[in-house]
Amino acid sequence: MEIRNLITFLRVVELQNFTRAAEQLGYSQSTVTVQIQQLEQELNIKLFERIGKQISVTEKGWEVFQYAKEIRNLTEKITYTAREQNHIKGKICIGVIESLLCSAMPEILSEFHKKYTDVELIVKTNYVDILIEMMVHNEVDFIFVIDRPLYHKEWIKPYMEKEEILFFAPFGHSLTKKNTVSIQEILKQPFILTEKGVSYRKELDEYVEKNAVEFKPFLEIGDTRIIVELLKKGQGISFLPKIAAAKEMESQKIDVINVENWNVVMWKQIIYHKNKYVTPQMSAFINMIMQKQQ
């Protein structure tokens, strides 16, 4: 039995798409089709049902899928065991939200590359929901996100730490000098926010919708670095994770507004699928994130 045919089968199941599987594996679609046909002939079972352009995994196909995952993990273990134990190399694909990429990740990426020069790093950014889908479909090795506590019986979470979500203003802004400010008062201010769909912004949007408050930011942008830069220049107010503006707070470029009866706490979390083989480079990167976040 060709292991490569099993690997192809795994990617088709994980992505539920022959074309995408072919693109990720570097094959033509016809090659993927032939490999699946070879596997079906060898096992003498139907792995997929094909109705028009839609495919679905058969009952027997799901059984083969579970065994194929075990074979892939064992193959990866053999590969890494055969290498020198003290020399880590290979590839890591990380899924991370934009605010963590801009704040926590630059230092980690730089230090990791200096320490492990033979490891190829691939970083993909997106919303939390999409990153979870990518993790489930094995498109990323693990995800690093900020959200409410995320749990699933199929997931492993080696790291979880509280992260405050705060209202920020330029340093010296009149609202930062008050002991407390009501949420109604602060929502009258000109806001710069991340795009809708970002996990921590949802908290603010839900409040606005629930209380029928008239609220419209003057700027929505996906890059938290630009938001922080605009705050430093004296423009607007924003709602961000503390980590996104920690350096600017320390250097007294921006400050926190204390909002009465408003306490939003989310969690920085690293998550990977329980069936994912944790390679040495993946373990090293996760450990470095955890060390840097202490």
Token pair for 11: 């990617």
Work out the mean pLDDT of the chain and round it to a whole number: 91
Q: Are 179 and 258 in contact (CB under 8 A)?
A: yes
Residue 228 C-alpha from the chain's centroid = 21
Q: Per residue in 141-181, pLDDT tens?
A: 999 999 999 999 999 999 999 999 999 999 999 999 999 99
Q: Are 130 and 140 in contact (CB under 8 A)?
A: no
What pLDDT is stored for residue 71 in this prediction? 87
What pLDDT is stored for residue 182 in this prediction? 94
What pLDDT is stored for residue 242 in this prediction? 95
- Residues comprising the chain, all counted: 294
Is the pLDDT confidence value at 53 over 70?
yes
Taking residues 227-254, report their average pLDDT.
95
CA distance 241 to 141: 24
Give Cα separations from 69 to 7, 74, 100 (angstroms). Answer: 8, 9, 31
Task: Identify the three-state secondary structure at position 47.
Answer: coil
Q: Judging by DSSP bridges, how do beta strands 90-96 and 142-147 pair with one another?
A: parallel
Is the pLDDT confidence value at 78 over 90?
no
Is the pLDDT confidence value at 270 over 90?
yes
Q: What percent of the chain has pLDDT over 70?
A: 97
Is the pLDDT confidence value at 79 over 90?
no
What pLDDT is stored for residue 246 in this prediction? 94
What pLDDT is stored for residue 81 in this prediction? 67
- Domains for the chain: give ranges and CATH numbers: 3-82 (1.10.10.10), 90-162+267-292 (3.40.190.10), 164-264 (3.40.190.10)
pLDDT band of residue 2 (cuts 50, 70, 90) is confident
Taking residues 204-218, report their average pLDDT.
91
Selection from 207, 196, 192, 216 nearest residue 263 by Cα: 207
What pLDDT is stored for residue 177 in this prediction? 94
Q: Per residue in 85-110, pLDDT tens?
A: 557 888 999 999 999 999 999 999 99
Token pair for 244: 């996104």
pLDDT band of residue 189 (cuts 50, 70, 90) is very high
Nearby residues of 201 by Cβ (< 8 Å), 6 or more positions away: 193, 194, 195, 239
pLDDT band of residue 231 (cuts 50, 70, 90) is very high
Taking residues 19-29, report their average pLDDT.
89
Question: Per DSSP, which regions of the chain are E strands?
Answer: 48-51, 54-57, 90-96, 119-125, 142-147, 155-170, 192-193, 219-220, 238-241, 254-257, 264-273
